[in-house]
């Protein structure tokens, strides 16, 4: 352990290694398919320790991430883009980065590791690896980060949101080929009533994580929020159940054509052939029980009274949440963007603000999203979803 601390405190964490990869051709590859790549692995020692925190086996990780299918997808996607899920392994999410974002991650990596190690319940998404690759024939170099899949569950996600607490330009753009649409602040009109102790724990952890990001000069991060509506079983003799009909009337039930594809029942992965309990670990912020209501149904002056009068219009849901995209510092470009947008829009509604104001606004917004369900006793259960018996 002392040796490890010495290694992590030295400049060794900044090391990188480059490997030339060659994949054999086979009949399923199209003509002209790329089979040679240059692979670069940044700070492998420190990322190995982060993988250990997430109970990720290194050999299993490399088989999932450093394979021909993944590298071909990265080469085709080119520059920075939307995150994508590995078709063969639902544990990881890959996101392409700008070079500036990769530099931010490397600079904050030691403190980030110390933070998530010190705070087991941190809601910051775990970054398991930072890599770069390019086709061996001289193609463009791409940087990408591999992060944990915060939405990994056997439950179906009925809604996905990316929330910042700002409104200017915060709406989703649809793509006809996009299977999974992530909505943003302007489409968000829900609030959630939580067990008082659960709400307190979540908001306290968000406060701790935001304080860390503020100290690192980071802004523009988001809360990724997945929602599963806990529907009762259908009555086959009557078609849709009464509760299903109520959900549709309240607008919380997502149209069937837009229900998000579940993350389970895909091709088997290497890890499924190894006896292990690692995949049973419950992450803080996963499968949080709540009651969802439309914001226009809530009297903000007296939310508890409003809850008593409109409880029949609520839906029981499970929430999956975590903080993502925390690789943007408040650099000169963001300062100029702030100055420009402040002349054209209300400064309170724009995303680029200094880290302190960003953290305060982010927390204030989430305090209004997560409310206290006063019909539940704070002592009704313990730490959030650590007891599997709490889940029906």
Residue 327, burial from CB neighbour count under 10 angstroms (0-12, 13-18, 19+): buried
The domains spanning 12-22+37-148 and 159-390 adopt the same CATH topology? no
* 8-state DSSP, 54: T
User: What's the pLDDT at 168?
Assistant: 65
In CATH terms, the fold of domain 12-22+37-148 is Phosphatidylinositol Phosphate Kinase II Beta (3.30.800)
> Taking the domains of the chain in order of start, what are their residue ranges?
12-22+37-148, 159-390
In CATH terms, the fold of domain 159-390 is 3.30.810
User: What's the pLDDT at 24?
Assistant: 79
User: What's the pLDDT at 256?
Assistant: 31
Strand arrangement, sheet containing 190-194: 159-163, 222-229, 315-324, 288-294, 190-194, 370-372
Q: Indicate the pTM of the whole model.
A: 0.76
CA distance 206 to 272: 33
Closest CA to 220 of 307, 98, 304: 98
User: What's the pLDDT at 325?
Assistant: 93
What tokens does 286 get?
Answer: 């996963």
User: What's the pLDDT at 169?
Assistant: 64
- Residuewise pLDDT in 10s, the chain (392 residues): 444 444 444 455 678 888 888 887 766 676 667 788 889 999 999 999 999 999 999 999 998 898 888 888 887 776 556 677 776 788 999 999 999 999 999 999 999 999 999 999 999 999 999 999 988 777 788 999 999 999 999 999 999 999 998 766 677 765 544 555 789 888 899 999 999 999 999 999 999 999 999 999 999 999 999 999 987 655 444 444 444 444 434 444 433 323 333 333 333 333 333 333 344 447 999 999 999 999 764 554 444 444 443 445 679 999 999 999 999 887 666 656 646 565 556 666 666 678 999 999 999 999 999 999 987 766 655 444 333 222 22
User: What's the pLDDT at 347?
Assistant: 62
Whether 158 and 227 have beta carbons less than 8 Å apart is answered as yes
Q: CA separation (Å) from 227 to 130, 191, 252, 281, 287? A: 29, 12, 10, 20, 9
Whether 369 and 192 have beta carbons less than 8 Å apart is answered as yes
Q: What is the dihedral sign for C-alpha 108, 109, 110, 114?
A: positive
Beta-bridge partners for 223: 163, 323
Closest CA to 158 of 260, 84, 30, 264: 260
CA distance 356 to 213: 9
3 state SS of 1: coil
């Amino acid at each position: 352990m002392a040796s490890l601390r010495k290694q992590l405190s030295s400049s060794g964490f900044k090391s990188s290694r480059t490997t030339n990869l060659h994949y054999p051709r086979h009949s399923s590859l199209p003509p002209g398919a790329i089979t040679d790549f240059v692979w670069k692995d940044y700070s492998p020692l420190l990322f190995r320790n982060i993988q250990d925190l997430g109970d990720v086996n290194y050999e299993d990780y490399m088989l999932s991430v450093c394979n021909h299918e993944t590298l071909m997808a990265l080469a085709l996607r080119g520059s920075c883009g939307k995150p994508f899920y590995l078709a063969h392994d639902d544990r990881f999410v890959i996101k392409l980065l700008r070079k500036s974002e990769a530099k931010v991650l490397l600079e904050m990596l030691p403190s980030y590791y110390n933070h998530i190690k010190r705070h087991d319940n941190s809601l910051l998404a775990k970054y398991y690896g930072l890599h770069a690759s390019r086709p061996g024939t001289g193609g463009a170099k791409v940087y990408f980060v591999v992060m944990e899949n915060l939405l990994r569950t056997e439950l179906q996600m009925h809604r996905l949101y990316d929330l910042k607490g700002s409104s200017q330009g915060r709406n989703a753009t649809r793509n006809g080929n996009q299977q999974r649409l992530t909505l943003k602040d302007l489409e968000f009109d829900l609030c959630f009533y939580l067990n008082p102790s659960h709400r307190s724990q979540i908001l306290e952890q968000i406060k701790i994580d935001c304080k860390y990001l503020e100290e690192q000069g980071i802004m523009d991060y988001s809360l990724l929020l997945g929602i599963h509506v806990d529907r009762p079983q259908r009555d086959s003799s009557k078609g849709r159940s009464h509760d299903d009909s109520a959900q549709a009337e309240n607008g919380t039930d997502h149209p069937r054509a837009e229900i998000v594809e579940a993350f389970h029942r895909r091709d088997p992965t290497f890890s499924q052939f190894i006896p292990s309990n690692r995949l049973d670990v419950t992450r803080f912020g996963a499968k949080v029980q709540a009651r969802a209501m439309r914001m226009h149904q809530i009297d903000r002056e007296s939310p508890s009274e409003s809850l008593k009068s409109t409880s029949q219009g609520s839906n029981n849901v499970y929430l999956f949440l975590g903080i993502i995209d925390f690789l943007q510092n408040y650099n000169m470009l963001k300062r100029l963007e702030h100055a420009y947008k402040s002349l054209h829009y209300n400064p309170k509604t724009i995303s680029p603000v200094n880290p302190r104001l960003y953290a305060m606004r982010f927390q204030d917004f989430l305090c209004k999203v997560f409310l206290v369900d006063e019909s539940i006793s704070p002592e009704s259960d313990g730490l959030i979803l650590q007891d599997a018996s709490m889940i029906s």
